[in-house]
């Protein structure tokens, strides 16, 4: 009878441990915050003001999406550039961004089914201690799977389990997608004798003035977007906000070798900086002991490298400060 009681007690303890592990896991999951709820505002601020004269034409034709832009660079040269993508390629491209609740439910179902399976196997083999180890292993694998899933869809998990746009990842993975645009700008620069500064200024002017300023919704139907348009979609839609336009400018500039860029995040706003020695009056940040001159792609203000809007300057100097995210 004593042996049976011990067995019953062990079973109850094992069952209680499994139940408690579900409770703790559920509490951890409940702390998952879909940016920007219960925290900081989405990065959606403009740089204010107005920019140089610009034009755009967005249309679909021949099974492809097209965008044609005209704008003025900082040397007052008029520049025109076009960008296209086949509709089938665009659909595949967009499938790699954003997520739905059903995606998270699928991951959660995987976790729960594997917890039960691995618990039963481990307890049968080595008792409660082995069961706890098995649950920890499942939980570790679940978190890895979830992190990898978010990364694959353009997101990252930040402090306090906050889901936010993965700006460095978005910029890097979009260099090939925007390379045709970079090559077109390079051809124009070569034909018209632009130097590197004029070329960089042309990319910045395109983002600031040719792309309209508009804030993307956090959700598009049932798709969580993170409040950002992927760069190719922004180019083929003709608009974006601060982080969207930073993604566009960063991905274009990333086509040129030796380009060193960092993202700069301040509360409610996003911009970037380029590695070069600052000139007189240039606003810059330091990263790993080197100066990076600030670039503010948001628009509609027409601001050369080294110049930022007054609101942005106040944010950079605020108590909250800024966070640097290396691109290249």
Q: What is the pLDDT of residues 7-16, one digit of tens each?
A: 444 444 444 4
- Average pLDDT estimate for 31-52: 46
pLDDT at 135: 96
pLDDT at 159: 79
Q: State the pLDDT confidence band at 48, using cuts at 50, 70 and 90.
A: low
- Domain edges within the chain: 2-25+100-152, 55-98+163-326
Q: What is the pLDDT of residues 188-240, one digit of tens each?
A: 999 999 999 999 999 999 999 999 999 999 999 999 999 999 999 999 999 99
pLDDT at 37: 40
Closest CA to 312 of 24, 23, 41, 48: 48
Q: What is the pLDDT of residues 255-313, one digit of tens each?
A: 999 999 999 999 999 999 999 999 999 999 999 999 999 999 999 999 999 999 999 99
Per-chain mean pLDDT for the chain? 88
Q: What angle do CA 71, 179, 83 make, to 5 degrees?
A: 45
Q: Pull the structure tokens for residue 125.
A: 């083999």
Distance CA 120, CA 327 (A): 45
């Amino acid at each position: 009878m004593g042996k049976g009681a011990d067995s019953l007690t062990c079973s109850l303890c094992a069952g209680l441990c499994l139940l408690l592990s579900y409770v703790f896991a559920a509490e951890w999951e409940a702390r998952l915050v879909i940016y920007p709820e219960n925290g900081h505002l989405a990065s959606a601020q403009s740089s204010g003001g107005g920019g140089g004269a610009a034009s755009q034409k967005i249309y679909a034709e021949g099974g492809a999406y097209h965008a044609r832009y005209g704008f003025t660079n900082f040397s007052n040269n008029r520049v025109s550039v076009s960008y296209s993508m086949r509709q089938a390629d665009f659909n595949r491209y967009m499938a790699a961004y954003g997520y739905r609740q059903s995606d998270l439910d699928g991951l959660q179902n995987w976790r729960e089914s594997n917890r039960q399976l691995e618990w039963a196997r481990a307890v049968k083999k080595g008792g409660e201690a082995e069961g706890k180890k098995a649950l920890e292993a499942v939980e570790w694998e679940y978190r890895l799977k979830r992190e990898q899933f978010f990364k694959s869809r353009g997101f990252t998990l930040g402090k306090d389990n906050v889901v936010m746009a993965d700006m460095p990842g978005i910029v890097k993975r979009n260099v090939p997608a925007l390379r045709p645009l970079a090559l077109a700008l390079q051809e124009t620069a070569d034909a018209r004798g632009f130097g590197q500064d004029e070329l960089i200024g042309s990319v910045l002017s395109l983002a600031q003035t040719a792309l309209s300023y508009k804030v993307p919704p956090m959700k598009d139907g049932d798709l969580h977007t993170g409040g950002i348009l992927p760069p190719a979609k922004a180019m083929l839609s003709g608009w974006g906000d601060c982080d969207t336009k930073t993604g566009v400018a960063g991905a274009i500039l990333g086509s040129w070798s030796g380009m060193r860029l960092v993202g700069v995040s301040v509360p409610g706003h996003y911009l970037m900086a380029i590695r070069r020695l600052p000139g007189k009056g240039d606003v810059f940040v330091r990263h790993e002991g080197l100066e990076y001159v600030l670039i503010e792609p948001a628009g509609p203000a027409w601001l050369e490298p080294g110049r930022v809007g007054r609101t942005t300057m106040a944010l950079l100097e605020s108590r909250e400060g800024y966070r640097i995210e290396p691109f290249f």
